[in-house]
Amino acid sequence: MNHNTDVIIIGAGPVGLFAVFELGLLNIKCHLIDNLDKIGGQCAELYPDKPIYDIPSRVKISGQELTDDLMTQIKPFEPIFHLGEQAENIKKNEDNTWTISTSSGEKISAKCIVIAAGAGSFVPRKLPIKDIEDYENKSIFYSVKNKNFFKNKKIIIAGGGDSALDWTNELSNISDVTLIHRRKEFRAVPESVSKMLELEKENKIKFILGQITSINGSNGLISEIVCNNGGVEEIVKTNYLLPFFGLKMELGPIANWNLKINNNLIEVDTEKFETSIKSIFAIGDINTYPGKLKLILSGFHEAALMAQKCFSYCYPDKKNVFRYTTSSKDLQKKLGV
């Protein structure tokens, strides 16, 4: 599908969300793209329940609360979210606008791009095994899109968190499941842990204590995996492996966009937070400049300054008048207050 908007924000972390607010005050509409299937970036994915103590005037706020409150704050501006999609390619159009295509084939065009990509996209953590890519999507799957694919098959699930246990429990109904984990303690929610242990007792699943050390197979198809438990090796025959070792952040496709990048960070100026390419901005954890601090607070400031410059690209013939939300009737109307 094709979309058209003023600004595309890559990354729906706290900084991307607040950018919607600053841009919205200037009548600039946004679409946001995030690889995660939820909103909130690191705050929601890595530490939803941990308290943050250095958001001005919020004495104590959890990662999830911060995300929820930002969503309430930007609601009047009706941002459009494209979740579970990665921004892959960027193309400059003849009229100086940009078109971004996403991993699910959407094309979004806009006058400016704001990269608020944190430390990059959240992607599954891969087993450190040589040529593992050859097996991906044939024998190794990091998510389950269609569970019937695994029906009546012998599969191995590795990991000890919620995804590993949820899928062990779920797929035990239709597949022959073996769970491999390095210890017999699990960080998943207690209900799934007790369900899994019950299934094991009833011999409906198998549990192996250990860690996967290598994979044998050919042409992208696994034949067996080797696991190790304190020096004792065990070989398990299987064709399918579902590793769930959480997510990590990786710069990903943005690295190929010809931006000036230094140590996986995008260089910007500190007046407009514009990158080496005009009308592409970078704010939040992803950018670098002298004195940069990776704080949510700094990202918010960067969003405000970026928005001023974006205005000149989105409304080249208009003059931007600086106003406060406390006193401007116009801004208050936009906020619906």
Ligand X SMILES: Cc1cc2nc3c(=O)[nH]c(=O)nc-3n(C[C@H](O)[C@H](O)[C@H](O)COP(=O)(O)OP(=O)(O)OC[C@H]3O[C@@H](n4cnc5c(N)ncnc54)[C@H](O)[C@@H]3O)c2cc1C
Looking only at residues 117 through 136 of this chain, which bind ligand X when binding is defined by CB under 6 A?
117-122
Contact of residue 28 among ligand X, other proteins, none (CB under 5-8 Å per partner type): none
Which H/E stretch holds residue 9? strand 7-10
Contact of residue 35 among ligand X, other proteins, none (CB under 5-8 Å per partner type): ligand X
CA distance 19 to 284: 10
CA distance 223 to 312: 59
Stretch that binds other proteins, among 146-154, 157-165, 190-198, 218-226 (CB under 8 A): 157-165
Q: Choose which of 182, 206, 301, 334 interacts with other proteins (CB under 8 A).
A: 182
| Least CB distance to other proteins at residue 77 (A) | 30
Contact of residue 34 among other proteins, ligand X, none (CB under 5-8 Å per partner type): ligand X
Stretch that binds ligand X, among 42-50, 161-169, 218-226, 232-240 (CB under 6 A): 42-50
Q: Choose which of 77, 140, 284, 303 interacts with ligand X (CB under 6 A).
A: 284
Contact of residue 82 among ligand X, other proteins, none (CB under 5-8 Å per partner type): none
CA distance 220 to 132: 9
Contact of residue 87 among ligand X, other proteins, none (CB under 5-8 Å per partner type): ligand X
Report CA-CA distances (Å) from 206 to 177, 180, 199, 289: 6, 9, 8, 52
CA distance 279 to 181: 48
| Least CB distance to ligand X at residue 98 (A) | 14
Contact in structure between 279 and 111 (CB atoms under 8 Å): yes
Q: Choose which of 56, 105, 190, 230 interacts with other proteins (CB under 8 A).
A: 230
Check binding of 187 to other proteins (CB under 8 A).
yes
Stretch that binds other proteins, among 172-180, 193-201, 240-248, 315-323 (CB under 8 A): 240-248
210-219 long-range CB contacts below 8 Å, 24 or more apart?
210/180, 210/182, 210/234, 211/180, 211/182, 212/127, 212/129, 212/158, 212/180, 212/241, 212/243, 214/129, 215/127, 215/129, 215/132, 215/135, 215/241, 217/135, 217/139
Q: Choose which of 252, 277, 289, 315 interacts with ligand X (CB under 6 A).
A: 252
Q: Choose which of 163, 299, 305, 313 interacts with ligand X (CB under 6 A).
A: 299
Count CA atoms closer than 13 A to 290's CA, side-chain side: 1
Tokens of 34: 């995030």
Strand bridging mode 261-262 / 107-110: unpaired
Check binding of 99 to ligand X (CB under 6 A).
no
Check binding of 159 to other proteins (CB under 8 A).
yes
Tell me the CA end-to-end span of the chain in Å, nearest whole number: 34
Using CB under 8 A as the criterion, which residues of the chain lie in contact with other proteins when the complex forms?
A: 46-47, 50, 119, 125, 127-128, 159-161, 181-183, 185, 187, 211, 213, 230, 245-246, 248-249, 294
